[in-house]
Amino acid sequence: MTYHNRYSVSTYAMIEEPLEDAVHCLVNEGWKAIEIMGEGRHDELLEWPQERLRSLQEIGKANGISWTIHTPITACNPAAVTLEEAAASMNIMLRTLRIADLLGCDFVVLHAGRLDDLGEDAAQPAGTIGGEDELAAVERVAAFVRRALEETAGSKVKIALENIPPYPRSLGADVEFLLRVLERVNSPRAGIVFDAGHAHLVGEGYCLDALPRVLPHAVALHLSDNRGEYDDHYAIGLGSVPIGPLTEMAVEYGYAGAWILEMHSVADADASARVLDRMRTASIAAIADRQGGER
């Protein structure tokens, strides 16, 4: 199936299964690009001994798999204030990067973190904290990414910051926050993963407004659908995320990064790949028609 060569699937689709079982299932289904979700049951990857990691590496080589890894979310906080949490987060980041290097990953996905120090009454969504708190958070996240890149100098693995849903005390729903971090990191090994479903939760129109700003830095698109209220991870077409217009915008820009399907089931990812294929074909035709009409 050609779409198994064109799209990546996240192990999130089998998050209730042991990671090894999930990988074998996806490989057997014919997927050629797999993103390991380092959260939930699949955070076990970071505890695997070297021999199990080597086995995973060999599975990838034998089956032509391109890997990426989503860094653990709850345990890794790049915006941490306390020395203890910052050190623990850096250990997780470096472990993830070293496993990614072994597997030959192009990038690892990273959330910018959260401002736990604001207290339980803080209700600002990510990216709207404002003032000195936000500026300080940008500097902490940038310093975290810079140090992780310095500690893994010589590696080709990129760190790609992902926009998140607008949860209280969390950072990165507003892509401007991520862009400010990238500006301060100033490294070719830093980029962005744009999550369309997360952007849709920020507000109507935000997804298509934010995409052009991040496309120059985007290494991957995370795709799933929702109805604008919850991060449902529906199959494409079952919600109101403007994935069709987003696809056309990305195609017209010449986007050449990964298209990662992050759904609740392998069947939903499979169905979404078919829909996305049709959207990309339609986008190419629409762009060609426009360009023909402009001559």
pLDDT for 206-237, tens place per residue? 999 999 999 999 999 999 999 999 999 999 99
What ranges do the domains of the chain cover? 3-294
Long-range interactions of 176-181: CB distance < 8 A, separation 24+: 176/127, 176/213, 177/112, 177/126, 177/127, 177/134, 177/137, 177/138, 178/112, 178/214, 179/213, 179/214, 179/217, 180/138, 181/112, 181/138, 181/141, 181/142, 181/145
Q: What percent of the chain has pLDDT over 70?
A: 93
The answer on pLDDT for 118 being more than 80 is no
What average pLDDT does range 151-174 have in this prediction?
97
pLDDT at 292: 76
CA pair distance 17, 22, nearest whole angstrom: 6
- CA-nearest of 189, 195, 158, 147 to 174 is 195
- Measured CA distances, 162 to 73, 90, 159, 223 (Å): 11, 17, 10, 12
pLDDT tens, residue by residue, 257-283: 999 999 999 999 999 999 999 999 999
- Measured CA distances, 38 to 19, 30, 72, 97, 270 (Å): 10, 22, 5, 12, 21
Angle in degrees, 0-180, between the axes of helices 19-28 and 50-63, rounded to the nearest 10? 10
Residue 270, exposed/middle/buried by CB under 10 A (0-12, 13-18, 19+)?
buried
CA pair distance 94, 99, nearest whole angstrom: 9
SS3 percent helix, strand, coil of the chain, rounded to 5, is 55, 15, 30
CB contact at 8 A, 191 and 218: yes
CB contact at 8 A, 78 and 116: no
Map residue 244 onto helix, strand or coil: helix
Model confidence, pTM: 0.94
pLDDT tens, residue by residue, 58-114: 999 999 999 999 999 999 999 999 999 999 999 999 999 999 999 999 999 999 999
- DSSP letter for 235, please: P
Query: Fold for domain 3-294?
Result: TIM Barrel (3.20.20)
- Measured CA distances, 42 to 232, 268, 269 (Å): 19, 19, 18
pLDDT at 140: 97
